[in-house]
Amino acid sequence: MQRLYRNCYAMDRKCYEEYGLTEDLLMEHAAEGMARVLRGRFGAGTRVFIAAGPGNNGADGITLARLLLGRFDVRLWLPLGAKSPMAKLQLERARRVGVPLAEEIEEAEVVVDALFGAGLSRPLSEEAAGWVGELDALEGFKLACDIPTGLDEGGWPSPVAFRADLTVTMGALKEGLYGDAAKEYVGEILCVDLGVERLLYEEESAVRLLEEGDFLPPLRRERPAAHKGSFGHAAVFCGEKEGAGILAASAAARFGAGLTTLVIHERVTPPPFLMTATTVPPKATALAIGMGLGEYFEEELLQKEVVDSPLPVLLDADAFAKPELLRILHDERREVVVTPHPAEFARLWRIVSGEDLSVEAIQRDRFETARRFSARFPHVVLLLKGANPVIAHLGELWVNPLGTPALAKGGSGDVLSGLIVALLAQGYEALDATIQGSLALALAARSWEGADYGMLPTDLLESLGRLQQG
């Protein structure tokens, strides 16, 4: 896991005040980090076009131009000149070594965006938005300095943003790079040091970025005398859209649950490895409800079998439209996981708080949305679905950036529910079950070798059985 930060201003100040480093020195390290990346990826003589703004993000770009000159064919474009003290200083240095200045946007094999960085506090002007469009239209490899121009601190385009193949960010990773909207713009993300190792630069953070190496497969069958009861019993409610429940239960079985039962209202035809029952089995160890639930089950049954149960429970999909099920959120003695997508979260939030939140408001700052939920229900584990799912518990956040567009298909969320309830049934704590289930879904999708449009939820089930520790 890596740490994420809203911004790096406090850590920059620590470098100045505690380590005696100067702004100038940090800037040289930032630019050298970008230069090192380009030297490793492109040969001598490559044409590099650098668009630099008037402030310190632009100063990083100006410094980069100086460092690349000689090895690369560099052009520096300053549409607004140099205005900050550091930009002026770096431009004077660039002029002294002979960095050529461009009069307009030019084609190049590498295009560097250093117009406006993380300090952007207002929407781009019409003129600046036009520059971003022109830079995007160039055919070269595109690198963004710190954060693509046009993304605000929360990672939302204002109103447009530079589309990078690679974002080289400075000092530490920022939350804004991992918002759902930002995924369209940031490309690959690399972090470079600013004069000290990240261990010395970074401070504590309540937000973490999940990585492949954080994945740990379910409990292995190492005990020779183990039996099906050794690995829990997952009960999955199967409602009006029975396919959703069957997918979730199949995922639970695939992911290690020793027994999996579909709780049904009407007869269904599940795969032979799933059992069926009209009530929760007495020896069940975890519940999942909501996937395709509809209106099949009476409130009295739900109260008895789900709300009043002490078992760990996962709520998804249709559960967020049922106030009687959402009463579970107030039970602080219970392991509870909720897995809404943004529209479902808006529905859930309206019921539990009385406040209307639009999907756009949720997506504009997913991190703050998750923090607000966790402040209200700290014991509940939230997984807010999206391109980069955000997990919240006890005020801390975990972000999973590993998902792929192949998951953008009905049924993927049902598989996720099954993965999490499988781990709950095996005795995992709610947070660990959610993190590992989320990682497993993403890694199963990444291992799919076919066209991204062609992956089915059943393909995920096949991939899950082959996952190894990250």
* CATH code, domain carrying 138: 3.40.50.10260
| Secondary structure letter of residue 212 according to DSSP | G
Please check whether residue 179 lies inside any domain of the structure. yes
* 158 and 256 co-located in one domain: no
Which of 156, 188, 205 terminates a domain? The answer is 205
Please check whether residue 441 lies inside any domain of the structure. yes
What distance in Å separates the CA atoms of residue 336 and residue 330, rounded to the nearest whole number? Answer: 10
Q: Is 48 helix (H, G, I), strand (E, B) or coil?
A: strand
**pLDDT for res 229:** 62
Q: How far is CA 133 from the centre of its chain?
A: 26
* 302 and 429 co-located in one domain: yes
CATH code of the domain in which 266 resides: 3.40.1190.20
Please check whether residue 161 lies inside any domain of the structure. yes
Which of 150, 173, 205 terminates a domain? The answer is 205
Q: Write out the H or E segment, with its range, that includes residue 269.
A: none
The pTM score is 0.92
Please check whether residue 121 lies inside any domain of the structure. yes
* 111 and 184 co-located in one domain: yes
**pLDDT for res 222:** 61
Do residues 445 and 460 touch, judged by C-beta distance below 8 A? yes
* 97 and 230 co-located in one domain: no
CA distances to 41, 71, 106, 129, 150 from 109, in Å: 12, 14, 10, 22, 22
* 140 and 244 co-located in one domain: no
* 297 and 385 co-located in one domain: yes
* 62 and 192 co-located in one domain: yes
What distance in Å separates the CA atoms of residue 55 and residue 195, rounded to the nearest whole number? Answer: 21
Q: For the chain, which residues score pLDDT lower than 70?
A: 119, 219-230, 469-470
Please check whether residue 404 lies inside any domain of the structure. yes
**pLDDT for res 450:** 86
How would you label 161-181 residue by residue, b for 16+ Cβ within 10 Å and e otherwise?
Answer: bbbbebbbbbbbbbbbbbbbb
**pLDDT for res 256:** 87
* 63 and 139 co-located in one domain: yes
**pLDDT for res 465:** 80
What distance in Å separates the CA atoms of residue 201 and residue 434, rounded to the nearest whole number? Answer: 30
* 148 and 200 co-located in one domain: yes
For the chain, how long is the longest CA-to-CA vector? 81
H-only helix segments in 237-393: 242-254, 299-302, 323-326, 342-353, 359-364, 366-376
* 184 and 248 co-located in one domain: no
**pLDDT for res 75:** 96
**pLDDT for res 141:** 97
Provide the number of structural domains found in the chain: 2
- Specify the residue for token string 């096949």: 462
Please check whether residue 470 lies inside any domain of the structure. no
* 248 and 190 co-located in one domain: no
Q: Which domain holds residue 341?
A: 213-464
Q: Is 395 helix (H, G, I), strand (E, B) or coil?
A: coil
Q: Is 259 helix (H, G, I), strand (E, B) or coil?
A: strand
**pLDDT for res 386:** 94
The string of pLDDT tens digits covering residues 314-338 is 999 999 999 999 999 999 999 999 9
Please check whether residue 469 lies inside any domain of the structure. no
Do residues 442 and 400 touch, judged by C-beta distance below 8 A? yes
* 173 and 218 co-located in one domain: no
Do residues 233 and 281 touch, judged by C-beta distance below 8 A? yes
**pLDDT for res 239:** 87
Which of 173, 205, 237 terminates a domain? The answer is 205
Please check whether residue 36 lies inside any domain of the structure. yes
**pLDDT for res 343:** 96
Say how many C-beta atoms besides its own lie within 10 A of residue 106's C-beta. 14
